[in-house]
Amino acid sequence: MKGGLGQLKIGSVVVTSAWRLIKANPAVWAIFALIVIFSAIVPEKFLSVSNFVAILKNFAVTSMLAVGPTFVILLGSIDVSYMGVWMFGGALVWLLYPYLGLASIAIYPIFGLLVGLFNGVVHVKARVPSFILTLAVTAVFAFLTTYVRNVSGVLTLTVPAYNFLRESPIPYLPSPFLLALPVIVIALFIMFFTKFGTYFCAIGSNEEGAKLAGVNVEKYKTLAFTLSGLITGLGSIAIFVHLGCQTRVDFDPSELVRGLAAIVLGGTPLAGGMGGPHRTLLGALVYVLIFNGLFLLPGVDPNHLKLYVGTLLLGAVIAASRALRGALIA
């Protein structure tokens, strides 16, 4: 009898903590549901080792595009300069490799940091709306990347010397995923174990209140943009390796949507104030599961995948904003 009660208690603790996790992160539902659905429809394809590896790779790419900007979105601003950092950062690595050797990969985080700092300072001091600003930054760097490729007369900006990074020391865990892990750890640490995460949320949820509580709002806004750039720069290394040690040379808006999709699907509202990188990681997983699952489905034209995913994002944004409004009223 006594043992039974004890078991019941442990059971209820597990249930309540699982429930809390789901309640705090609605994306967990979606992950469960997607796994169950695709396992039921295409079990032999979906539950294969190769698909598992593909999911991890895709997850690494998607999360590396989205985790950095999440910090800015916490503020209630937005940062879409990650495309520019990723593309032109790679071009810089390619350009500087002949001079710096293997060390030139360090250009990525440095370049990211500088772009982020620039975004932050201009946004805060000149009060330029962040979306327009960072979109313009991405446009400029995307153009420059294409320009570098065209002027150099090469087809791709590939640095084969980094090919050794593509080999994973651990079976089944692809190297882009391993390269993404430390970046994820850094982001989560900043969010939960330093005051930065708290301050970003504070600014996003009640800027006036944050100011009154003694937060130097301008400084932390600039810091969030800088951090976003730095993390995107670090994360871009994983994407660089994933693409075969080269960078993207043509601008694709669906890649831009991908980062935002992960953030929104994860449940960080674009209005800021709550959420964080942990949710973005879940959102990235949702995005990747949908993308991979649809790809495996018979009768789905892979060429139309981007359309489906784009439409899905639209739906998610509308649903998320409605749900949020409900929460605010209740």
Q: CA geometry: angle at 85 spanning 83 and 86, to 5°?
A: 65
Least distance from C-beta 241 to other proteins, angstroms?
28
Among 30, 34, 202, 316, binds other proteins (CB under 8 A): 202
Stretch that binds other proteins, among 68-76, 78-86, 99-107, 192-200 (CB under 8 A): 192-200
**Dihedral class, residue 129 (left if φ above 0, else alpha if ψ from -120 to 50, else beta):** beta
**84-112: string of b/e by CB count within 10 Å (b at 16+)?**
bbbbbbbbbbbbbbeeeeeebbebbbebb
Among 126, 167, 193, 298, binds other proteins (CB under 8 A): 193
**Dihedral class, residue 76 (left if φ above 0, else alpha if ψ from -120 to 50, else beta):** left
Site for other proteins in 124-163 (CB under 8 A): none
Residue 213 touches other proteins, criterion: CB under 8 A: yes
Least distance from C-beta 184 to other proteins, angstroms?
17
* CB within 8 Å of 202: residues ≥ 6 apart: 209, 210, 213, 215
Least distance from C-beta 328 to other proteins, angstroms?
8
Residue 253 touches other proteins, criterion: CB under 8 A: no
Helix axes 130-152, 82-100, angle to 10 degrees: 40
The partner residues of 158 in beta bridges, in order of sequence, read: 246
The partner residues of 246 in beta bridges, in order of sequence, read: 158
Residue 273 touches other proteins, criterion: CB under 8 A: yes
Residue 195 touches other proteins, criterion: CB under 8 A: yes
Stretch that binds other proteins, among 99-107, 125-133, 187-195, 281-289 (CB under 8 A): 187-195
Residue 276 touches other proteins, criterion: CB under 8 A: no
Residues in the site for other proteins, rule: CB under 8 A?
192-195, 198, 201-202, 205-206, 208-216, 273-274
